């Protein structure tokens, strides 16, 4: 089975915050987990794909770049997006199909926006998804703390399905590139 990891919006200014936005919840743990999953992807010969949001730091400068603490492999593919949905207006789906990807591991920022949308869109488009439960983050909203937003999404996206394809939530300590979807079919 061909696999990829999609790391969404782990950009310097989004992760660290700026004058208007706080840093994401548990940012150091998030960055450590991203690097751990990248290593697991390399060991499993999975493709590594980064998505950057052009709204972050106005799409330029060091704030727009992938966070400097993330060890980006030379073989990684990097795409930019202008929408919440990583698949909208980007070559991502074509890239995944061209590479015959069947299983997509997803992590990054922000939980209730780009992560939620990517998980749901991927399942609709015939991909099994593993969401890294301790590999996505966000900031507090006006109604919920970041911790509650993350917990809520881990709960509602575990088992989220679209007939044949669905998502499961697993942690960085698990064998993320040994999918367990067939255990539930």
- What is the mean predicted confidence (pLDDT) over 103-122? 98
- The stretches of the chain forming alpha helices (DSSP H) are 12-16, 27-43, 61-64, 92-98, 116-124, 146-157
pLDDT for res 160: 83
Strands (E), 37-174: 47-53, 77-81, 101-109, 128-137, 161-162, 165-170
- Whether the full predicted model's pTM is greater than 0.85, yes or no, is yes
Is domain 2-183 annotated with CATH 3.40.50.850?
yes
- Average pLDDT of the chain is 97
Question: Is pLDDT at 10 greater than 80 in this prediction?
Answer: yes
53-102, pLDDT tens digit by residue? 999 999 999 999 999 999 999 999 999 999 999 999 999 999 999 999 99
180: helix, strand or coil: coil
Q: How confident is the model at residue 50 (pLDDT cuts 50, 70, 90)?
A: very high
Sorted by where each begins, the domain ranges of the chain are 2-183
Reading the block at residue 143, the tokens are 């109604």
């Amino acid at each position: 089975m061909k696999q990829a990891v999609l790391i969404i919006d782990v950009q310097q200014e989004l992760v660290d915050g700026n004058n208007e936005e706080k840093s994401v919840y548990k940012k150091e743990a998030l960055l450590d987990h991203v690097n751990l999953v990248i290593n697991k992807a390399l060991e499993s010969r999975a493709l590594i794909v980064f998505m950057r949001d052009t709204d972050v730091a106005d799409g330029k400068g060091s704030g727009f770049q992938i966070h400097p603490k993330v060890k980006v492999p030379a073989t990684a593919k990097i795409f930019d997006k202008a929408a919440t949905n990583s698949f909208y207006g980007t070559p991502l789906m074509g890239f995944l199909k061209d590479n015959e990807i069947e299983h997509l591991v997803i992590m990054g920022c922000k939980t209730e926006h780009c992560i939620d949308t990517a998980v749901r869109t991927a399942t609709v488009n015939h991909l099994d998804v593993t969401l890294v439960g301790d590999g996505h983050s966000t900031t507090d909203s006006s109604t919920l703390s970041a911790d509650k937003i993350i917990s809520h999404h881990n709960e509602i996206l575990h088992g989220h399905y679209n007939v044949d394809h669905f998502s499961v939530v697993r942690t960085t300590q698990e064998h993320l590139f040994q999918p367990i979807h067939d255990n539930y079919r």
